[in-house]
Amino acid sequence: MQVKISLNKTELMLLALVATLGQWLNGLKCTWNFLILGIFGIIIIWLAFIGQRMLAKFEKDKWGVISLGIMALLPFNFLGLLAEVLTYVPISGSVILFLNNHFKLVISLGIILTIIIWLILAVMLARFWHTTIQLQIRQLIKNIGLYLGWLVGLTGILLLTAEIFKTQWITAVLNGGLILGLSVGQLWLLIHVWAGGNLIQYDDNSWVSLIIGATAVGLGFNLTNMMHSFPQEIIAHRGVYQKNELPNTISALTQTSQQKFDFVEMDVRETKDHQFICQHDDEFHWGVNHADQVENLTLKQIKQHSKVDLFKDYISVANQKHQRLLVEIKPGNVNSRFAGRDFIHQFKTQMKQNNGMVHSMELSYLQQIKQITDEVPVGLVLTINTGNVMNKPVDFYSVQAFTLNPAFVQQANQHKRPIYVWTVRRSIQSLILKTIPITGQITDIGKTVRYLRFPHSLGQEMFLVATAWNYL
């Protein structure tokens, strides 16, 4: 027998307005965005009270169901705010390196943890509503599917509308509506998860809901102050701009330098005898089952099995070609623990002549360089864009496109630190990034990206796509 649950729709609209306010604060070019932490806490407490009122007639496991329901929204970026909140969490250099080195593991564990949370939630819902676990699992899958369908459908409809009207102010209104609609969709998902398949009766004041919705759309409208294409530097990833070139080689550099990219990005590793070779992977493989870490091999040993280019030769050619370099010092273990110091001692003069930069996943390397000179800019490479890295002694950031979020972009811009995004491999990805105020794109398709242009109307559509992506 189904239970009828009463709920005030106006209150949900008001909660969606508060979530939109959090997005609006993040878009402001001021130091107020720390208030997003308070908004995040208010939303969680508010949701807990809504859940308590919904399930007031029932006592058994009520708070467990409410808590797990709220936690279940975290993988969906919790009303578009979780990624922004995480940028205020303190994080150490060792944790950054762990996240960088174990990106796939972290993502896999996150997916597994999400599934476990949803399964435990299904079990608790079955006990709470006296139904079967299988029924609650089916209900959860149905609700998630409906939410994802709403997300795709709403975004698609608004994109089509923007394409039809082709005016900036209409796109701005659509952007506000998109943020509000996505927040309402997540709240709908949470409420129906708590309901466990039971009927929900909504009570609301239509006029109040309309005013709240218009206010939220107005806040979203203000987020469009960046609705245009930003000039960005184009950086050739691993020194190539065509797929038929061999990465991290002088031959590729010679070809790529003719294209006059802003930078050529390339990788170096330190050998056991403190030589720097142009190499991305941490191991050399030879024969059938032979492999060893680069840092455990001398240059002579490496040359016995493979042809590699030395960085001293690479930067010499780059300086002859007047090609600026963005050098990534790949992390190592015991034998490479002072790679930053060794690198800058060997190449300080050449790097200054090159007007180049250094970035790395290993924060200690960057600190070693900073202790010796401030004349070579250093940047932190982030595979997972989370935690407060604004207090790290670096000059710029290199961030994986998949985890880039607007709160981080806003904070970096406030600190006047450039952001380079990697690795851009598709034209659509490059177009979306052009709507975000970053400094440059590190790309495998530099020959394509540098000539990408879009009409004004398409730029507005890309802004809507970027809004939806950032929300999630």
For every one of its 472 residues, what pLDDT tens digit does the chain have, with 9 covering 90 and above? 566 777 778 888 888 888 887 777 766 655 566 678 888 999 999 999 999 888 877 767 788 899 999 999 988 889 888 888 888 889 998 899 898 888 889 999 999 999 999 999 999 999 988 899 999 999 999 999 999 999 999 988 888 887 787 777 777 778 778 888 888 899 999 999 999 888 888 776 677 777 877 777 676 656 555 455 678 999 999 999 877 789 999 999 999 999 999 999 999 999 999 999 999 998 887 766 777 888 999 999 988 888 899 999 999 999 999 999 999 999 988 878 999 999 999 999 999 999 999 999 999 999 999 999 999 999 999 998 888 999 999 999 999 998 888 888 888 988 999 999 999 998 888 888 888 889 999 999 888 887 776 555 555 667 777 777 777 7
Closest CA to 422 of 441, 449, 403: 441
**Amino acid letter, residue 358:** V
Q: What pLDDT score does 15 carry?
A: 87
Beta strand 357-360 pairing with 325-329: parallel
CA dist 373 and 100 (Å) reads 26
Distance CA 112, CA 162 (A): 38
Query: CA-to-CA distance for 285 and 125, rounded, in angstroms?
Result: 52
Q: Which tokens in the block code for residue 367? A: 């600190």
Q: How far is CA 305 from CA 127, 246, 252, 287, in A?
A: 63, 18, 21, 9
At a CB cut-off of 8 Å and minimum separation 6, what does 95 contact?
387
Answer whether 43's CB lies under 8 Å from 421's CB: no
Residue 244: both structure tokens together: 């038929």
Residues contacting residue 451 through CB under 8 Å, at least 6 positions apart? none
> Strand (E) positions, 123-238?
199-203, 233-236
Q: Which of 179, 182, 160, 232 is nearest to 461 (CA)?
A: 160
Fold of 233-453: TIM Barrel (3.20.20)
Supply the pLDDT for residue 446.
Answer: 87
Rounded to the nearest 10°, the torsion over CA 104, 110, 112, 115 is -140
pTM of the complete model:
0.88
The structural domains of the chain, with segments of one domain joined by +, span 4-224, 233-453
